[in-house]
Structure 1
Amino acid sequence: MIFENINVLSRKSDLAVIQAHEFGRVLLSKYPSININFKTKSTSGDKDLQTPLSEMPNEGVFTDDLRDDLIKKNCDIIIHSWKDLPLDVGSETEIAITLNRADERDLLFIKKNNIDKIKNERSIFILSSSPRRKYNLENFITDFLPFQIQKVHFQNIRGNILTRFKKFIESDSDGFVVAKAAIDRLLNADLKLFPEIKKTLLPKINKCYWNVVPLSVNPSSPGQGALAIEIRSNDNNLKKILLELNNKEDYENVILERGELQKYGGGCHQKIGVSFQSTHFGKIKSSKGETDKGIPFQERIIYKNSNDISSQQISLNEIFPENLSDHSFFKRNVIESCKKELTALRNKCIWISRQSALPLNQEIHSSNVIWVSGLETWKKLAERGIWVNGTSDGLGEDSDLNIETLTTNQWIKLTHLDAPPSKIRHVIATYQLEENEISLNIANKKYFYWMSSSAFKYVIDRHPNIRDKVHFCGPGNTYKEIKNILADDSKNLFIELSYNDWKNKILQAID
């Protein structure tokens, strides 16, 4: 049965209306003959802009008023931000589907004009009402921003996204945290329907430095970035139509996230973030927070990893390397001629896989976006006074960086001479590898972790008998290159998120 008319309800904010129209476009792409009537309504959470969300007595402050209209048949469908939904939505309605999920991560904005103040006072004031963000971001701000910050102050803020951004710019506060999905949707809004949003928002963003906070240190609120499409539980005909629009993978991930939150009781007062990411090698689960009893926890794993090394019988003398510092396969000699080229870069996105790829004391113009392979590189560059905008979080440059709404700059990769081909076509060779001749005692080694394909080539050229051993590495270019080298033997090549994860699992197996 195809419906002639469907009444779609959302909250009144610009973002909520944009999300409703996003659903409408997807529905009409499948069923162009349906007439959609968009309706809006203010909720109790929209009306009370003083009480922090974590202190409100009811979890459903942004959803319950809308659900009442659905139950009373004043509408057919509600479009929610899934993170706004209480864990128990009741039996009269259900979340039928979700659309393709937007970015789960948070954005941190820091006013450019406040940088000197932050440096002089060694403290920073951040606008956020979220207990999760406050808990996760304090150490991130002190460790990963290029300032010597001794104290992080959080200040509550309420209102819709555009209102909050306006309050931030007009306040004395230094920084502001917001869901990246919200900014992306506002900047991508249909200009015919919302002609002023981009004009209003972009000038405010341009007054700020920004970075995308990685899920490894700041897992999202469960469901962040996903839209929940709610219908009456007995509306089977409508559900049948909607199921054709469902993103099953994203739906499953949100259910898993909400299930994790359920273990701790749920609610906006919780200092808990949990994210499930789908990748080519499985799901990554990231969780971090503090229980109601004050017990901290943090986990980043490959969910249901079938190649879990911790279940195997391994002795420490069978692994290589036992410590990363034990072996230095190469000297990295700076190519002096690159420095002038780096200094001249303007309005580029620069990918840096390791901090040594950017020569010491090298100036990088602030118009460039800096993206790094992982947290270790980010931290080292921040210590050198360099603003980093984000990281692939150890997933490699092939992972979806998803920053097109914030920048369309050309990508350039800093790497070594003779580096293997890369997704990023424009390359600046900033150093050259020079082999160190070292003695390796690997006769009894059975399990190897490789930080780079160059290190793998170095060892396998000297010890080809290790081909049939068990090899591990991260999921990026290193994995692709080693897989190509091993060819038929690549059945013994597995992904672990980091050397430390791999080593810790081995220690668990030994224990």
Structure 2
Amino acid sequence: MALDQVRIASRRSQLAMVQTNWVKEELGKAFPNIDISIEAMATQGDKILDVALAKIGDKGLFTKELEAQMLVGHADIAVHSLKDLPTNLPDGLILGCITEREDPADALVVNKKNEEYELNTLPSGSIVGTSSLRRLAQLRHSYPHLLFKDVRGNVITRLEKLDAGNYDCLILAAAGLTRLGFSHRIHQLIPNEISLHAVGQGALGIECVQGNSDILKIIKSLEHQETSQRCLAERAFLKELEGGCQVPIGVNSKIEGDNLILTGMVASLDGTKLIRDQTKGLAINPETIGIDLANTLKDQGAMEILEVIFKEARI
């Protein structure tokens, strides 16, 4: 029997809904005879807004509720910001598709009074808002004279806090700002030399039930090969280092000819220790490249840095 419907599980946040509606529209164009619906819900990460993400310590903060809907048969697929999707998925679920990524760079957004500055010229003591340990560690490493303050809430809420004067600037994902129509707020794209981005940042991941070939065939219509190869290398790197969303691990990837070049970083929370290296290999073997780079960083002391972070998280 031909498939006649696809039910999408999504977070309820504005950015998540923009992303999920894009998936719905694109699938609708490719399969006009299929009824596509969205079931939106709040996840744990959406509900707990008064605690820093790093202190909650759950790698599935923004995904578990969506995955539960698929496992009990109430949804066929779930749309995620790929950077939020853990590298270890629940039994019975797979990452079925990776869409073409937006610019994965981190972006500097400033309060109006700081429009004359870029990241490297901000005055000493400027308050930088970020909820990411990865951004925090790298920026502390390069700019120890700046002050860093946690910021939670959706993108619009964070921008409101910035404009109200609670922060001098924010560090946000350029992709999220662009998808929400706030690309004009991007004051500076932060160079990779300063801040490597999160694994999967800028791409969407579509998760589905393993073994459902009809659903997999449908969502594969949105697969972007180059993005998929880059993100699979990044995710293999992260998985080999046993890192979750809230660990200071950063990456950058690019494809040149037949090769995929992957750069990776591990840093201590205070930014005083930062290990960074690069490897390359054939793009058709992305996971191998990610694992090789992870082992290179392990040889340079990455696990010793991460063990300290894991230990502090357990205290």
- Distance in 1 between the 2:16 and 2:66 partners? 12
Q: Which residue of 2 aligns with 1:210?
A: 187
- Structure 1 residues 72 and 244: alpha-carbon distance in aligned structure 2, compared to 1, 3 A threshold: same
1:179-228 deviations in Å (ceiling 9; x for gaps):
011011111xxxxxxxxxx6xx86xx3xxx71001223321111111111
Structure 1 residue 120, shift from structure 2 partner: 10
Identity fraction in percent: 27
* C-alpha distance after superposition, 1:264-299 (max 9, x if no partner): 22123311101222244732322222269x852112
Tell whether the 8 Å contact from 2:83 to 2:245 is kept in structure 1 after alignment. no
Deviations 1:437-457 (A, max 9, x none): xxxxxxxxxxxxxxxxxxxxx
Structure 1 position 305, deviation (Å): 8.1
Residue 76 and residue 168 in structure 1: after superposition, are their counterparts in 2 closer, same or farther (change >3 A)? Answer: same
The letter for the 2-side match of 1:129 is S
Tell me the CA shift for residue 84 of structure 1.
0.7
- The structure having more radius of gyration, on CA atoms, is 1
Can you list the C-alpha shifts for 1:64-105, whole angstroms capped at 9, x where unaligned? 011111111111111011111122112211110111111111
**1:244 correspondence with 2:221:** yes
Please state whether the residue corresponding to 2:281 is helix, strand or coil: coil
* Alpha-carbon distance in structure 2 between the residues aligned to 1:50 and 1:279: 43
Shift of 1:161: 1.0
| Residue in structure 2 matched with residue 11 of structure 1 by the alignment | 11
1:18-37 matches, cutoff 5 A: 18-37=18-37
Q: Equivalent residues in 2 for 1:340-379 (5 A)? A: none
Aligned partners of 1:137 and 1:121: how far apart in 2? 14
User: What is the root-mean-square deviation of aligned Cα atoms in Å?
Assistant: 2.7
Structure 1 pair 124–64 and aligned structure 2 pair: CA distance change class (3 A) = same
Separation of aligned partners in 2, 1:100 and 1:9 = 20
Gap change, CA 1:2 and 1:168, over 3 Å in 2: farther
Tell me the residue number matched to 1:260: 237
| Contact 1:264–1:291 (8 Å) recurs in 2 | no
TM-fit CA distance, 1:158: 0.7
1:270 pairs, out of 226, 243, 247, with 247
Preserved contact between residue 270 and residue 291 of structure 1 (Cα < 8 Å): no
The number of equivalent residue pairs is: 280
The 3-state SS of whatever aligns with 2:151 is coil
Letter in 1 for 2:77: I
Could you tell me which residue of structure 2 aligns to residue 129 of structure 1? 131
Change (3 A) 1:57 1:122: closer
Instruction: State the Cα distance separating 1:115 from its structure 2 match.
Output: 6.1
Aligned partners of 2:98 and 2:228 also within 8 Å: yes
In structure 2, what is the Cα distance between the partners aligned to 1:176 and 1:213?
Answer: 12
Q: How big is the shift at 1:117?
A: 11
TM-score, scaled relative to structure 1? 0.51
What is the correspondence of 1:98-497 to structure 2 with a 5 Å cutoff? 98-114=98-114, 122-140=124-142, 142=143, 151-187=145-181, 205=185, 210-280=187-257, 282-290=259-267, 296-300=274-278, 303-304=280-281
Unaligned runs of 5+ in 2: 284-315
Change over 3 Å in CA distance of 1:299–1:7 after alignment to 2:
same
Map residues 60-71 of structure 1 onto 2, 5 A cutoff. 60-71=60-71
Q: Which residue of 1 aligns with 2:95?
A: 95
Residues 70 and 77, structure 1, Cα contact 8 Å, conserved in 2: yes
123 and 38 in structure 1: CA distance in 2 versus 1, 3 angstrom threshold: same
In the alignment, structure 1 segments of 5+ residues that lack a partner are 143-149, 188-197, 307-511
Partner amino acid, structure 1, of 2:129? L
Change (3 A) 1:278 1:22: farther
Label 1:168 to 1:304 Cα distance change in 2 as closer, same or farther (>3 A).
Answer: same
> 1:230, 1:160 → 2: CA distance?
23
- Find the residue that maps to 2:46 and give its secondary structure: helix
Q: Distance in 2 between matches of 1:235 and 1:221?
A: 30
* Structure-1 separation of matches of 2:97 and 2:239: 20
SS for the counterpart of 1:287 is: strand
Partner Cα separation in structure 2 for residue 275 and residue 120 of structure 1: 25
AA aligned to 2:165 is S
* SS of equivalent to 2:107: strand
Task: Please identify, of 1-10 and 279-288, the stretch whose mean Cα deviation from structure 2 is larger.
Answer: 279-288
